[in-house]
Chains A and B, each alone.
Chain A
Amino acid sequence: MLEIIQKALVQNGLVAAFALVGLIVLLSGQISRRLTMGRVHGSAIAIMIGLALAYWGGTQTGGHKGLADMSLFGGIGLMGGAMLRDFAIVATAFEVQATEARRAGLIGAVSLLLGTILPFIVGATIAWSFGYSDAVSMTTIGAGAVTYIVGPVTGAAIGASPDVMALSIATGLVKAIFVMVGTPIAARFLALKTPRSAMVFGGLAGTVSGVSAGLAATDRKLVPYGALVATFHTGLGCFMGPSVLFLTTKAIVG
């Protein structure tokens, strides 16, 4: 009996994932309403449950894809993978008002640039203060503070050592998690209310996963504006990391 259920779950991975996520969303909606009196958004709780399950999955399997590494929950990997995530993000563009987006175009681009340079400087400086004082390690860890994809791409391009690469990826992951969990808490401080503010946020906070989850947990209507800018983040970072940022760092620390 148990075997039959297990086989059904494995063979219908995506469908099982729909059911599981539906259950998580239902549960978090109830928690939001009953335990926090609606003060904490249901989506924020659902994302935190997701992260907790990811941690549990990671400790169970020793893999790198959280819950998705467990064969029973393999469908989560497809449902939350890059393909469906990007498909759903693109679909949210259907709600974008072109006039709003155009009005914030310039400030969006400026924040995108700031969102690449500022985390890089901060990350590289902290790496330096911990003794990673060569230009390659500083650049790689600094790039990891931009996003967890920019870090390894930059590191691979300039020949960083594996442990620095791992550190760089970890930095990016921690940042994404901070943004996911912190955004709904800090929404008032960030003045996240309008499409323009969401675009500024998307440019500066970086990491598509962090921005998309953070905005989803704050105000679903702001998602497309933030995502529109944030999707350029990784590309810009991978462009600037091994070139401008590396050469500048090298010129400074020698």
Chain B
Amino acid sequence: MIIYGTALLAVCHMLGIVLGDLLGHALGVKTNVGGVGIAMLLLIFARLYMAKKAILPRLTEVGVEYWGAMYIPVVVAMAAQQDMVSALRGGPVALLSAAAAVGVCACVIAVINRTEKNPTEGLAATATPANDLLTETE
């Protein structure tokens, strides 16, 4: 049943958020620490475990994959509610520090990524588990 997939996703999401809040609390920070990342790890482990036990029918997978495929539309909606006016009103300090921060980080990313041993072996070469719902977006 498709709801099993969506429910699995929801349970991982909630567990991750709660654990992230607990972690934030333990560290004395007023925010969630990596809740979404923890939820992602939980979902990865759940998938590996269920696939091994053969309790992951195709329809359950689709219940998760639908939301993964909805990711780009959700991001578009997210872009449409950014506080663009405040961002542009921040003036030269905001503009300069943001541009410089992005520039410095971009250079470091470029340097680190060039150290990778065989960068020609792109993602296409590694057999990504297929989300057929994504074929259209490529």
Interface residues of A (CB under 8 A from B): 17-18, 21-22, 24-25, 43, 46-51, 53-55, 57-59, 62, 64-68, 73, 76-77, 79-81, 84-98, 100-101, 107, 111, 114-115, 118-119, 122-123, 126-127, 130, 132, 141-142, 144-145, 149, 153, 156-157, 166-167, 169-180, 182, 186, 189-197, 200-201, 204-206, 208-209, 212-213, 216, 219-224, 227-229, 231-232, 234-236, 238-239
Q: Which residue of A lies closest to B32 (CB)?
A: A235
Interface string of B35-46 (1 = CB under 8 A from A): 111011101100
User: Taking A88-B68, A190-B110, A239-B29 as contacts, is the C-beta distance between A66 and B80 under 8 angstroms?
Assistant: yes
A80/B75 in contact, CB under 8 A: yes
**B interface residue numbers (CB < 8 A to A):** 9-10, 12-13, 16-17, 20, 23-24, 27, 29-37, 39-41, 43-44, 47-48, 61, 64-68, 70-102, 104-106, 108-110, 112-114, 116, 119, 121-123, 126, 128-129, 131, 134, 137-138
Chain A residue at smallest Cβ distance from B43: A93
Would you give 25 A-B contacts (Cβ < 8 Å), ordered by A?
A25-B73, A46-B79, A50-B78, A66-B84, A77-B81, A79-B73, A86-B35, A87-B9, A90-B43, A92-B68, A93-B39, A111-B108, A122-B101, A130-B92, A145-B97, A145-B98, A173-B86, A190-B109, A193-B119, A194-B122, A197-B119, A204-B108, A205-B106, A220-B72, A227-B40
B98 pairs with A157, CB closer than 8 A: no
Contact B110 A189 (CB under 8 A): yes
Residues from chain B with a CB closer than 8 A to the CB of A206 are 105
Main secondary structure of the interface of A (DSSP, over half): helix
CA distance A171 to B91 in the complex (A): 9
Instruction: Give chain A residues whose Cβ lies under 8 Å from the Cβ of B48.
Output: 98
Closest-by-CB residue of B relative to A124 is: B97
* Complex CA distance for A228 and B36, rounded to whole angstroms: 8
What is the CB-to-nearest-CB distance from B115 to chain A, in angstroms, rounded to a whole number?
9
Closest to A192 in B: B113
B90 A66 Cβ-Cβ under 8 A: no
Q: A79-B73, A80-B81, A235-B35 are in contact. List 17 more A-B contacts (CB 8 A).
A: A87-B10, A91-B64, A91-B68, A94-B43, A94-B44, A96-B44, A97-B126, A157-B30, A177-B82, A186-B106, A190-B113, A192-B113, A197-B113, A205-B102, A205-B105, A221-B123, A228-B40
In whole angstroms, what is the CA distance A92 to B108 when docked? 26
How many Å lie between the Cα of A222 and that of B122 in the bound state?
10
